[in-house]
Structure formats: structure tokens, C-alpha cells
Structure 1
Amino acid sequence: MTNIEKQEDEILVLQSIFDKKFRLLDDNQYEILIEFDLSTSFRIRLNDKISFIKYLPTLTLIIHYHEEYPSHYPPSFIVSCFYFSKYDLEKLCQKLDNYLFKNNEVCIYDWIELIKQEINNELILNDKFQEYTNDPRALNGYSFEKAENIFQYLINYNYERENEYFQKQFQTCFICTDIIPGINCIRLYRCGHFYCRSCLNNYIQLNLENGLFGEKLHCPQYQCKQSLLPTEIKQILENNELYERYERLTLQHGLELMNDILWCPRCQSPVLINNENDNLAMCYQCHYTFCKKCKEIYHSQTMCPKDYLIEQLKLQKEKKYQRIQIQREEEALAQLLADRNSPYWIPTLPDIGHRLLPYWTYFSINNYYLLAAFVLVLIRYIFQRDIRLIVFRRWIFIQAVMFIMRSISIYVTSLSVPLPGCNTTAVGSPPVEAFYIMFFIHATCGDVLFSGHTVTLTLCALAWTTYSKGEEHYPIRWLWNRFKSKTQEIIPGRSGWLYPQLDLTGDPLSFYLTTYLVWIFTIIGYLFIIATRFHYTVDVFLGFLLSHLTWQTYHYYIKTLAERRNIIITRFFLWFEGYGRPPANTSVSLLTGPTSINPEQPGHIETHNDVVNPSDDSYT
């Protein structure tokens, strides 16, 4: 086949593919309008502005056939597109030049596909100058000054094409859910939501009756804040009177926002204010002169009542501001004085316990350890119905006395924070913060003169050892006696590692194995408190010393109550312990109270039913 025949065949194929978008311009010169098939949303960007579109205008490719095509050389071409810059069009020409042309094969359709592939997922419009080589084949590139206009044109073109497609399809109204042709629907420009004309007409009419217009008239879609355009409202409203009312309300609202426009209080006509320094305003419709501030008849140099009211409000505001400022200064001074004694402002004190014991970050071990000690004491006495109330009542009373002493030390003395890097903030009022601290939800960093954890641990140890006579070394027999509620009697015997020596009232005098185990457990708890930097060593030492001294003083006072019957505080202890008024020189037991006993030295205890010898090997 000759070149002319191949060219004619190619022209026929291109006409069948592009139809009206392929036309003859001159002899051997043809124009092809190339449309881009965008399968996904296409992004256009101008500086910081970004928009997504689905349709792009056509690109023009002009082909000029010559005698050497397709046997030796490809045809000549011209590329034209108004939204491509000159630089981008020249790059496209270079792509076509680099196309691998094969002799005796046509290439126009391959060129068209190559141009379509060059449109990726983004088109960048530049408003700054870019260098180019002035290729004559690249025509109609936009000027950089018009990049903003090109950007807006592409958005409008995309909206028109989408609207054309929309009108050809059946749509479902978002309000009434009726299926109607798209040509009978209104598609909003700003958000893209669409509704039938009847629903939008009723929606706008209802909003106008409620006084909503202008920018307050939003799209009916839930949570859509885009307002309707005036052109859309005019297109929607079927009643001309409604649209005139809409325009009137919008105009009135716009005039109200203008600082140089007022409304005449007599005829409600707009009045233009010419003089800014005077309160005079005159209506040109009814010739009424009035004050532009109070809307009353013009009162010349007399102070406007509205100005007087404003001045009074300003004075009150200034006085209130001064009071608030004085209050803030007083609060700042009080805070400064408080911070002077705050433990957060004092550096950590040197402590020998902190130097000897390595720092342990598991801070919660102290709370768990204290809970374990409390539970052990609770289990120890909960089954002893004859003495449990006595033990717990004294334990709680002495605990309360110690914490009253501790609260006094907190008030009079502030120590620096022993915990490294501790930085906590208040969580609310003091009662709320105290509640959070009680249930380990919140922690503070301050330190006090002696340790509350140490006090509680010490009292638990004293409660265990003070009333214990060694019977816990036979737990099965001890639990059986507790369940059977058998009373205990003192029997002669000898003291040892398992049983302490008892006094005339049956109270223990000497240490034994359980005593050592309990105090070893307690001392380990003291070391935990120091190792976790929960307290200084002096806090632990004072906590142990004061709680032990208070416990021993209280119990010594109980055993000698009968000798101090006439002292006022003795009456409180007699009432608190429920002893009545014992005779003078009466021996007092820590658990049974005033009693007359055999002066023989007892050793241990037994039950009424079964006499148990501690040295018997059958009880282990």
C-alpha cells in the first residue's frame, strides 16, 4: 500500500473513533479533540488551594500529513491546551518526539494514548514564571497571571459536566426518598447534596417564616453547614413574592451590618449617617430628626441617656476589675507565703538510710505490705468473740491518737520531698484529694515528721504480740477452741520458744518465737518504706518510737487503773474499757479487766473441757 492509502485508512479509523471530535481543517491537516477518561477523582492544585474534579476540558492535537508518512517519517503536529502552561506543553511535545516511530506503521492513535497517559493523578498550576524554549508546536499555554482564573474555571467546568451527567440519571431525594429524574432535582453547588424541587421549596419557605435567610439558610443535610447561593434560592422558589421577601430581608440584614446606616424609628426607612462626630440623624423620607444612639428626638449637646448608661456601666466594670485585681494580688501574696514553707521548694535532705539502701521504684509495695499486715491481725482475732471487740477498739483508738499527733506535725513542720523526681498536682478540693489518696487513686509528694505507714505496721505488730499467749502455734486446736467458744484458763507450766512467760493476770511477759517472727516481718516493712524513698529514716524511727510508746503507756495505764480511780482521765478509761469502779489494789488483766486471782505464778492457758500440756508431743 502507498502512503496515501495508509493515511486514508487511518483517517477513516480516527473518524469512527472520535466522530465529531475529529474534523478536517485544511488540506492534509486535521484537528482531534482529546478527552481524558478519569477513572478516579483528579486533583488540581494552585499553591495551597486543592480541589478534586472528575472532568477535564479537551486537549487539541492538530495533525499535518506529508508525503513521507508513514514510510519514513511521522507526521508533524501542534499541541494546544489553555490549562497547560507553556512549559508543560513543551514537555508533552518532547514526549511525542521521543516516541519510537516504526517505518510503514501509523502512529496517531498511539500518540493520543501517550498524551492521555501523561495526565496522572494531579495537575499543578503555577502562578510563577517557568523557563521554556518557545517551541512553536506548543500553543495556547496559559499566562501565569491567569492561573487563579484557570483554577476556578476547571472547578466550574467539572461542576457543569457532573450536573449534565446528574440530570440524565434517576435520583433519590434525601428528604422525601422519592425516585425522580435528575432534571427535576436541584443539586447544590457548594456541597453537592441534591433534593427534589418541591422539598427544597417547602424547606426554604419554612425557614423564611422563622426568620432564617442569607448565610443562615443552610443545606438540609444533617451536619452540613454550607449555605445556599442566591441563584439557587431563586431557582428553587416558585412563588415570586417569597423570593422578593427573601431579597428584602437579606438587604435589610446587610444594611444593619453597615456602620453608616440606621433605620428611622418613625417610618423604618434606611438613613445614611454623614457626620461621625455628632449624634444627629435625619430621615429623608419623613424628615424626622433623631439621635442616632438612643433613637429619640434630637437633643443637641445634652448628654444622651444611652451614653450616660454606658459610662455608668464602664465605671462599674472598672471598679469590679479593681476588686478582682486586688483579690488576685492578695491570693498571689498568700500563695507566696505558703510556698515559702512548701516541701517542693526545699532540696532533698541527706539521709543515711537512703545512702545504704538502693532506690526501689516499686512504690506500691508499701500499701500492699501494710494491707497484708492488717489482714493478718484481722484473721488473728476475728474468731475470738470474747476479746476481738476489746482488741480492735483499743487498736483503732490508739491509731486515731497517733494520726492526730501526725496531723499536728504536718501543720508545724514541713520536710522536703524524699522521692526523686516527684511532681504531682492537686486534683480538686482537699476532701476530694483526701478521698483519692485513701483509695490509692492519687499520691502526693510532701513529707511529714513521722511515717503513717510505720505507725500502722507497728500497731499491727503490737496488737499481735501483746495479747498472744502462744496458742497460735497449734492452729487446729486454736481454731477448734474458737469455734466451740471454750473459755481459757491459766495453767502452770514453763515458758520457752513457743510460749511466753505470763504474769498473775495471764498477760505475756517474755518474748517467744511468734514475737520474733512478727517483728522481723515488721522491720522488713520499715526497710521497704526507706528503700522506696517513701519517707526519711527519721520518719520511720519516730513513727516506731511514738506508736510503741503510746501503746505501752496506754496498756500500762489500764493495768494500774485501780490505783488511780480519783483522776479525771481514769474515769474516761474506766468508761471506755467498761470496767466500772474496781476496788483499790485490784489486779487488772488486759483482756478480762479487774479480777481477783490466785497469787501463784501461772504459766499457760487451757480450756475448761480439755487441759492441754504444751510440752505434749501429740499436739504439733
Structure 2
Amino acid sequence: MAVSSTSGEEDHGFTSEESSSEDEEEEEELGPAQQSSKAGFFAYHVGADGKTPSFFSDPFCVADFRKPALLQFLPRVAAAAAIFTFGLYVNNVSQAWLQQNMAGYYEKNWVPVPPVNTTVILWDVTFASLPYVKSTKPADAFAGGAPMFVMLRFFVVPGPRSLRWTILCRWLVMWGILWFGRAFTIISTPLPNPDPTCVPKISFPDNIFLEAWANLPIVPMYPDELTCQDVLYSGHTVALTLNTMVILKYIRTAPWFPSNSSTRWCSTSTVFNVLGVVMLLMGYYFIVASHFHYTIDVLVGAVMTVLVFNMYHFIIKVSMLRKRKSRLCISPFFRWLERPAKDLKCWRRRAAEVLAQLHHDDDIIHGLENGVLN
């Protein structure tokens, strides 16, 4: 169990207004009729010994799949997964259409230069400045490793049991929105494919809807599907940027070990922030150095991800403040999806106790040091 030494509600990944709203909601859910079971509830979510649940005490997340927890989070995870799948499918439809209609277009219709027999590639500042990396596997590895990094970070560490599901829901919804947006940008102004070595692998060349289905990662019968015309913006960049922002946003919510003034340099906030940024920059490098995407694809993908991430959390903040009547028609959905879980309050209570103890230890150490110096 550990808590970052930084104070404030932001340590838990929520603003103070969101937290106060959650507290009110939780107090209502734990009304007078349930006060007698409050201690038992606290013991279930935090542990009878006062310790927080962790991967080591529940390595297979058995408690998360008991009936109360399952009924609380399964519908929300299913809704978030549906949004993600819908956005990804629409994106795949656009990819299939591009591959069917735009392959070889620039080679045949380049204006004002007459048609050429070589691959048309736009000039790019990073292509001209960075050494060429022949393989696209490093870019795939970083883009695929980023989600695994997030899942490992938040699914196998101490924390509120609802934290992992809350982050998962937000993650899926934001990624679904970004996929949906990409479906329109890649067909609005199709750019020439920057990778001359890309060879498409299409199972349904005459049916874009079946091809979009075959291109879904959950369809095991077609593991090698590949399109080469979807360029702006980069899906690899979305994966890297979104997962890094999740790390930076929620890293202090459930740190791995205590952080006081003497250990702050190696706290989980520091270590994982650095790892996340390094992974992000290396991923960006390999995406453009391998000519997997143009620089503009990476820039637009990063900007879109940052905008969607911050807008999503702004909508959450507006939707969860019950004292303000939001005019957003999507507020009821977000209030349901982001309904605060009771164990977050228990976690904050325990976190405050540990944080106070860390500050107390710091005061003792400083007092002893001052006594020795004097």
C-alpha cells in the first residue's frame, strides 16, 4: 500500500468538485438503513486488517467477479466496449473503402505531373531528417505495448476495486470516439501511402462491410488483415498518446509504495511518468522513422487524442455536478457510466490515514535532523 505525498483530491484522479459529488452520492447509498453494515462493507473493500486490496492478495480479481461487483460494473463495461467496437468498426469500413477505391490513385492521377510508374510519396520533414527504419515492427510493438502497460499498471496494483473498471470504461469510450473520428479524417483527404513496402492483405475485396468485420481484432479467422491507404490520422499515435495520458492522469491514484520526502525521487509517480513519456517519444520516433505515417498524421493524432481526453473529463465534471443542471443531452449517460462506487470513499479514507502518517514521519525526521544540527 502506498500513497503519494502530494496532497489534494487530484491524487485520486478526480477533481475536488467530482469528489464532493461522489461523497454525496455515496452517503446517500450508505443511508441510515445501511449504517449497521458500513463496517462490514469497509472490511470487504479495504480489508479487515485495514490494508487495501492488491494483486498479491487477490491475484485473479476473484472479488471483482462476485455478484454485487459484477452487477455494478458489467453493464457499464459492456456499454463502453460497445462504443469502442462501434467506433472501430466504422473506422474499418472507411479503411476498406479507401483500400478498394484509392489504391494506386495518385500514381494514375497525379496533377500537374503526368502519371508515373513509381510510388508517389509526399515530402516530409522527418523523412528527410531521420534515418530510415526498414521495419514497422517497432512501431507496432510500442503501439501494442502501451495498452498492456496501462492494464498491468492499474489491474495488478493496490487500489479501489472500482478503479480498474472506471479506468477501463473511460479508456474504451475515449478510444471509441477517436476511432469514430478517424473514420472521417482518413477519407476526407486521403494522402498517398508513405510506406512503399506496404502490401495490403484483403479477404473481402468486393465487400467493405465484411472486410471491416474481418479487420476487427476480435475476429481470429483473419489475423493478417492489412490496409495501406488509411493515413491521416495515425491510429498508432492514438494508442500511444491515450495510454500515456491515462498513466499521467491516474498514476497517483494507486501508487505501489509509499513516497515521502526521502523516497520521492523513486516514487511510482516519477518512475511511471518517465516510463510513459519515454515510451511515447520512442513510439512517435519509430512511427515516422519507418515511414509508417507522415509527421502530420502523428501531430493530428496526438492533438485529437489530447482534445478528446480533456473534453471527456470536462463532460464528466459537468455531468456529475448535480447542483448544476447540464444542458448536454449525453449527461444522463455519463452520470450512469461514471456513477461513483462506494469503495472510492473507503479508499480515500485509508489514503488520508497513510498520508497523514507519512507526513508525521517526515516531521519526526526533520525534527531529529534539526536537533542534531543544533
The Cα of 1:572 is off from its aligned counterpart by 2.7
Q: Give the structure 2 partner of residue 549 of structure 1.
A: 307
Residues 376 and 531 (structure 1 numbering): CA distance in 2 closer, same or farther, change over 3 Å? same
Q: Give the structure 2 partner of residue 430 of structure 1.
A: 208
Aligned 1:534-573 pairs, distance under 5 A: 534-561=292-319, 562=321, 564-567=324-327, 568-573=329-334
| Partner amino acid, structure 1, of 2:142 | Y
Aligned 1:438-477 pairs, distance under 5 A: 438=217, 440-469=223-252, 472=255, 474=257
Contact 1:416/1:447, CA 8 A, preserved across alignment: no
Deviations 1:411-442 (A, max 9, x none): 32211010024343633243554425746513
Give the number of equivalent residue pairs: 241
**Which runs of no fewer than 5 residues in structure 1 stay unpaired?**
1-334, 479-491, 501-510, 581-590, 599-603
| Partner amino acid, structure 1, of 2:190 | S
Q: What's the % identity of the aligned pairs?
A: 25
| Partner amino acid, structure 1, of 2:326 | N
Q: Give the structure 2 partner of residue 365 of structure 1.
A: 138
Q: Give the structure 2 partner of residue 381 of structure 1.
A: 154
Contact 1:357/1:531, CA 8 A, preserved across alignment: yes
Matched, 1:407 2:183: yes
Contact 1:415/1:446, CA 8 A, preserved across alignment: yes
Deviations 1:72-95 (A, max 9, x none): xxxxxxxxxxxxxxxxxxxxxxxx
Q: Distance in 2 between matches of 1:592 and 1:559?
A: 17
Contact 1:343/1:446, CA 8 A, preserved across alignment: no
Residues 532 and 426 (structure 1 numbering): CA distance in 2 closer, same or farther, change over 3 Å? same
The Cα of 1:362 is off from its aligned counterpart by 1.5
Deviations 1:118-147 (A, max 9, x none): xxxxxxxxxxxxxxxxxxxxxxxxxxxxxx
The Cα of 1:356 is off from its aligned counterpart by 1.3
Structure with greater helix share of residues: 2
Aligned 1:6-155 pairs, distance under 5 A: none
Residues 576 and 527 (structure 1 numbering): CA distance in 2 closer, same or farther, change over 3 Å? same
What TM-score comes out, normalization by structure 2 length? 0.54
Residues 592 and 437 (structure 1 numbering): CA distance in 2 closer, same or farther, change over 3 Å? closer
Aligned 1:157-556 pairs, distance under 5 A: 338-339=101-102, 342=105, 345=108, 347-383=120-156, 384=159, 385-424=161-200, 426-428=202-204, 429-431=207-209, 433-434=211-212, 435=214, 438=217, 440-469=223-252, 472=255, 474=257, 497=265, 512-556=270-314
Q: Distance in 2 between matches of 1:525 and 1:340?
A: 27
Contact 1:419/1:534, CA 8 A, preserved across alignment: yes
Q: Distance in 1 between matches of 2:103 and 2:132?
A: 29
Residues 444 and 455 (structure 1 numbering): CA distance in 2 closer, same or farther, change over 3 Å? same
- Aligned CA RMSD, in angstroms, stands at 4.2
Residues 471 and 391 (structure 1 numbering): CA distance in 2 closer, same or farther, change over 3 Å? closer
Contact 2:201/2:224, CA 8 A, preserved across alignment: no
Contact 1:564/1:570, CA 8 A, preserved across alignment: no
Contact 1:369/1:525, CA 8 A, preserved across alignment: yes
| Partner amino acid, structure 1, of 2:247 | W
Q: Distance in 2 between matches of 1:399 and 1:361?
A: 29
Residues 615 and 397 (structure 1 numbering): CA distance in 2 closer, same or farther, change over 3 Å? farther
The Cα of 1:389 is off from its aligned counterpart by 0.6
Contact 1:448/1:539, CA 8 A, preserved across alignment: yes
Greater RCO, CA 8 A, separation 6+: 2
What TM-score comes out, normalization by structure 1 length? 0.34
Q: Distance in 1 between matches of 2:201 and 2:183?
A: 21
Which sits farther off after the overlay, 421-430 or 348-357?
A: 421-430
Q: Distance in 2 between matches of 1:341 and 1:414?
A: 12
Q: Distance in 1 between matches of 2:255 and 2:295?
A: 33
3-state SS of 1:414 partner? coil
The Cα of 1:386 is off from its aligned counterpart by 2.8
3-state SS of 2:330 partner? helix
Contact 1:565/1:571, CA 8 A, preserved across alignment: no
Residues 437 and 359 (structure 1 numbering): CA distance in 2 closer, same or farther, change over 3 Å? farther
| Partner amino acid, structure 1, of 2:230 | D
Q: Distance in 2 between matches of 1:470 and 1:513?
A: 14
| Partner amino acid, structure 2, of 1:375 | M
